[in-house]
Structure 1
């Protein structure tokens, strides 16, 4: 700051020795200006740059940082924000003080300070704002007791316990912890239970207390445990805290004059003196003891009127009594069984280890007698009944046999009211047992028939074989043996000499000690069982060899020893040749011979070039007859093209519906035509299109039902009709309904082609208009032409031209084609002309012409003067 100018005021008032007033005021103004300038230089802050280190600013003054970015790039700022730095120092510069005020950010600014001494800067300290007191993100306040108010104390959340291996013994620091997974509790050590829960730790050094509370979705299932650490390394066992709402609490001694009907809350009371019980109400006995009440309501809970059980333990009498409260009503007291009453006369029966009353405690029950003529259908009450005479059984009804015996009846509860009867006869030599049942349905009880049970010596016995077995030992009568694997045969002995062994079964029949029969069946997948039989003497051990019976499905794995001839399906007989089985054919002189007095069936006898066998009659005419077993069945003879699954077949059939010659097939075999031949000449056939062809097969342009192929040219005619009487119709035509529409008739000298024209098949009959007929005939165009097929000269009409004038005389349409049913290219569907249809029109036209000629003739005669006026009659036209 500049030095201020002194004002000379003189030494006394008005001594005029001082500065004149003007000069003095000028000095005052100059001093004010200097002071103002000095103050401005002192309080106006200097600007801080981008990389300033605040540790270097030790000269007193004010400095301003106007950018957050500069504070960030600078050094030793208390906060990376713009703000004002104020520096003060001691005169010797050994003490320096800095204060940094952050520019307003949000609702308030922040202020920091630090000091410098001995070459070391202290850390920045923040000066809290008064507005932060008790504010969020600010500073806590203290109440009158110097404590933080409860409202400002934050909630303490439990720390999370690991879900991997850990030990609760290590948790001795006060706090709360949470185990979030059962797997974590399982992985940890020293948990009271492996369940989710909270751990609370309280400690004062070595003494540590832990409380573990489980957390479940069901409040009643929650548990709470506690333990303490009694030394630096030793913990007590966990102890579970009981829930007063779930345990039976001891309520102490019962007061006098109590009514037990009012004890409906759960608990245990001591009745110290018999006088208390005797002087109270609703005690089971006037004796001291204990009252135990089981109830859903704990002590201090609500009074209940149902679902309460009381047990009274009488001390003097050493007995237990119990009763219950149901819907407001107490049941009578009931004394529990005294062990001294068990199995004692007048006491209670016991049960053995099997849950049954011991035999010694079961009284003997004699069978009740049956009457002389009782109906056993009426006996449905369980028990035993005795019939002592055969006569009474015979006189009774629904006995299984007219024999004395014992009837046992059992009853099954349920909707069927089932009754089970068992009757055992008294005969000593051969006692018999029968059973039957009765069931009730729709209110009707029905007895089933009696069934007699077989004794063990009468029934077949089933024995399962699993290990190696000697077949010679399997000799028990009425016994069948089975084995599910090959082991009993493959590892055993004296079985059939089969090349392959599998699962199977054996039946044994005991005739006597000297004759025992065995039948063995060995199973093969996809084949018939292979069966063997033999018999032997069990007394001396002599057995006949095994023999195969029945046919086999194939010749694979035949026996390894002689088991007799074996027939194989589709392959014939096989015989043991000394070393193996081989196909066996009978040794005969010819391929096939069956001789009798009248017939022989021979093979390859040479009847014709293609003969392979013959059925020959030895007595004359040979006939081959095929007859059915019943009249309605019919018969069939089939001749096959080959033996495959897909072959053509010719069948001669005779059935009640008719006799047939059928060309058929099996599978996808081809259908063949029926061909008729004589001396190698193709006389005709019925082809697969169902066309009868007379003569050799040939190519036709049209699908027809019948075709005739003949030589022609004068060497052979196609069809000859030779009636046995003249004046007949060799060919007759009908319509689809069967009505006659035309005939071809013959006489001794001519043939007539007739179309039906009887008036009885016509209607709407009118005379034809002559002028119209003449005009249409004149429009017709007779033509001469040559035929494409043989270049022959013809005259006639062109069909479609004539069709325009006389459509009834022309068939078909111009340029029409028809599709070939066999898939060939379309063929021309040619038009035709029936000239006979023009005759009526031409006759009518000629009549019209004749009429007109006569008219013209009369006109000419009149012109000649020959009319009636001249007296000359007209000349008549001459008929040719």
Structure 2
């Protein structure tokens, strides 16, 4: 049976005149007034998918001005200042994830949200069909990587965890850089304790200094180091040489846990410490975050989100050998006093 086509009729009202426009299949519909849909839950439908064959077979929005640009304006009504678009992730708008592009008259925002039992998804930005930046539901963000440990995975990028951790990694062919224009400037505050700066990197335009706070006004109960104890600590350290596993290059200095046993201040971390990491996925198995510690609260990731263990990764110890300097100076001063006393005693014997 041949298809039966029924013409479309549109009515519009203007200047107290009601008109009827009738269109046959294949004709271009022109309507001089506004379109107003009565009732609720109405939809404009068409083939917006990817049909077989040419992409041009899709339903499109296009300007009717020859050689004109196509822009889709969205306006608020009356005194409202909010306009935007909501992109739903399922045919049931009451239980799904939502992507939001909104202008509220104060700022423009791109947001992710969910309705009902919908999953709170990460927000991704990309180019060339490749992810370049991500914000996860807990507040962490990634640039150039979806891993929470770009350093450990050697992935070029930056990560900021929900708890405030910030890490960045660059390859040898692309160095990680911080800089200022020139002159005597503070390059970067690299450690702070609330409103108090406790460390800086400064430059005078030629050389660079790495500074930890040492102002007397920050200290109480200042006392001399016990020279006997300082000497005992210095003599207990084991200077060592080694070969680095990463590149086979030689190194020298101290082993963190050995030095820590002599003086806890010179090393950080715990010997043989590891960290359990895993991935967080939504109920539909969408990856929300990877290589993260198990959160105490998964609520920000949406209902039924789950963390699953993937591996244990080492938490390596570090050292700040500058803490040894005070002991070394105290030891040298003690040795100098003893040497001066020995010289004085020898002179006394020689003059007897």
TM range (shorter): 0.5 to 0.7
Q: Do structure 1's residue 748 and structure 2's residue 197 form an aligned pair?
A: no
Relative distance call for 1:623 and 1:849 in structure 2 (3 A) is farther
User: Could you say what secondary structure the match of 2:222 adopts?
Assistant: coil
Deviation of residue 723 (structure 1)? 2.4
TM-score of the aligned structures, taking structure 1 as reference length: 0.28
Question: What whole-Å deviation, never above 9, does each CA across 1:702-758 have from its counterpart, x for those lacking one?
Answer: 995245454x232x233x334234333332135452221112223422332211212
Question: What whole-Å deviation, never above 9, does each CA across 1:276-301 have from its counterpart, x for those lacking one?
Answer: xxxxxxxxxxxxxxxxxxxxxxxxxx
Q: Which residue of 1 aligns with 2:84?
A: 636
Q: Which residue of 2 aligns with 1:845?
A: 331
Contact conserved, 1:745 with 1:753, CA < 8 A, in 2?
A: yes
Distance (Å, rounded) in 1 between the aligned partners of 2:330 and 2:235: 12
Question: What whole-Å deviation, never above 9, does each CA across 1:504-563 have from its counterpart, x for those lacking one?
Answer: xxxxxxxxxxxxxxxxxxxxxxxxxxxxxxxxxxxxxxxxxxxxxxxxxxxxxxxxxxxx
Deviation of residue 688 (structure 1)? 4.2
Alignment map for 1:808-827 (pairs within 5 Å)? 808-820=265-277, 821=294, 822-824=307-309, 825-827=311-313
Q: Which residue of 2 aligns with 1:685?
A: 134
Q: Do structure 1's residue 834 and structure 2's residue 303 form an aligned pair?
A: no
Question: What whole-Å deviation, never above 9, does each CA across 1:175-225 have from its counterpart, x for those lacking one?
Answer: xxxxxxxxxxxxxxxxxxxxxxxxxxxxxxxxxxxxxxxxxxxxxxxxxxx
Relative distance call for 1:691 and 1:860 in structure 2 (3 A) is same
Contact conserved, 2:142 with 2:160, CA < 8 A, in 1?
A: no
Contact conserved, 1:693 with 1:707, CA < 8 A, in 2?
A: no
Relative distance call for 1:674 and 1:849 in structure 2 (3 A) is same
TM-score of the aligned structures, taking structure 2 as reference length: 0.63
Deviation of residue 621 (structure 1)? 6.7
Q: Which residue of 1 aligns with 2:239?
A: 782
Distance (Å, rounded) in 2 between the aligned partners of 1:631 and 1:843: 73
Deviation of residue 798 (structure 1)? 2.1
Relative distance call for 1:615 and 1:841 in structure 2 (3 A) is farther
User: Could you say what secondary structure the match of 2:180 adopts?
Assistant: coil
Question: What whole-Å deviation, never above 9, does each CA across 1:323-378 have from its counterpart, x for those lacking one?
Answer: xxxxxxxxxxxxxxxxxxxxxxxxxxxxxxxxxxxxxxxxxxxxxxxxxxxxxxxx
Q: Which residue of 1 aligns with 2:25?
A: 587
Match of residue 663, structure 1, among 112, 121, 129: 112
Q: Which residue of 2 aligns with 1:694?
A: 143
**5+ residue gaps, structure 1:** 1-563, 566-583, 597-602, 870-880
Q: Do structure 1's residue 676 and structure 2's residue 135 form an aligned pair?
A: no
Q: Which residue of 2 aligns with 1:652?
A: 101
Distance (Å, rounded) in 2 between the aligned partners of 1:785 and 1:861: 46
Distance (Å, rounded) in 2 between the aligned partners of 1:616 and 1:723: 48
Contact conserved, 1:782 with 1:795, CA < 8 A, in 2?
A: yes
Distance (Å, rounded) in 1 between the aligned partners of 2:340 and 2:81: 82
Alignment map for 1:433-512 (pairs within 5 Å)? none
Q: Do structure 1's residue 761 and structure 2's residue 210 form an aligned pair?
A: no
Q: Which residue of 1 aligns with 2:257?
A: 800
Match of residue 721, structure 1, among 178, 199, 214: 178
Question: What whole-Å deviation, never above 9, does each CA across 1:622-663 have from its counterpart, x for those lacking one?
Answer: 655434336566333222344344443221233477543212
Distance (Å, rounded) in 2 between the aligned partners of 1:757 and 1:586: 86
User: Could you say what secondary structure the match of 1:675 adopts?
Assistant: strand
User: Could you say what secondary structure the match of 1:613 adopts?
Assistant: coil
User: Could you say what secondary structure the match of 1:614 adopts?
Assistant: coil
**5+ residue gaps, structure 2:** 1-7, 10-21, 34-45, 49-53, 154-158, 278-293, 295-306
Distance (Å, rounded) in 2 between the aligned partners of 1:848 and 1:617: 91
Contact conserved, 1:694 with 1:708, CA < 8 A, in 2?
A: no
User: Could you say what secondary structure the match of 2:85 adopts?
Assistant: strand
Alignment map for 1:79-90 (pairs within 5 Å)? none
User: Could you say what secondary structure the match of 1:835 adopts?
Assistant: coil
RMSD over aligned Cα, in angstroms?
A: 4.0
Relative distance call for 1:766 and 1:670 in structure 2 (3 A) is same
Contact conserved, 1:694 with 1:707, CA < 8 A, in 2?
A: no
Contact conserved, 2:200 with 2:212, CA < 8 A, in 1?
A: yes
Distance (Å, rounded) in 2 between the aligned partners of 1:669 and 1:585: 42
User: Could you say what secondary structure the match of 1:774 adopts?
Assistant: helix
User: Could you say what secondary structure the match of 2:322 adopts?
Assistant: helix
Distance (Å, rounded) in 2 between the aligned partners of 1:673 and 1:758: 45
Q: Which residue of 2 aligns with 1:201?
A: none
Distance (Å, rounded) in 2 between the aligned partners of 1:758 and 1:861: 42
Question: What whole-Å deviation, never above 9, does each CA across 1:383-432 have from its counterpart, x for those lacking one?
Answer: xxxxxxxxxxxxxxxxxxxxxxxxxxxxxxxxxxxxxxxxxxxxxxxxxx
Distance (Å, rounded) in 2 between the aligned partners of 1:623 and 1:759: 63
Distance (Å, rounded) in 2 between the aligned partners of 1:595 and 1:620: 19
User: Could you say what secondary structure the match of 1:637 adopts?
Assistant: strand
Question: What whole-Å deviation, never above 9, does each CA across 1:551-592 have from its counterpart, x for those lacking one?
Answer: xxxxxxxxxxxxx99xxxxxxxxxxxxxxxxxx9973546x8
Contact conserved, 1:604 with 1:614, CA < 8 A, in 2?
A: no
Distance (Å, rounded) in 2 between the aligned partners of 1:612 and 1:689: 37
User: Could you say what secondary structure the match of 1:748 adopts?
Assistant: coil
Alignment map for 1:140-179 (pairs within 5 Å)? none
Contact conserved, 2:182 with 2:205, CA < 8 A, in 1?
A: no
Greater relative contact order (Cα < 8 A, sep 6+): 2
User: Could you say what secondary structure the match of 2:146 adopts?
Assistant: coil
Larger radius of gyration: 1
Q: How many matched pairs?
A: 274
Deviation of residue 849 (structure 1)? 2.1
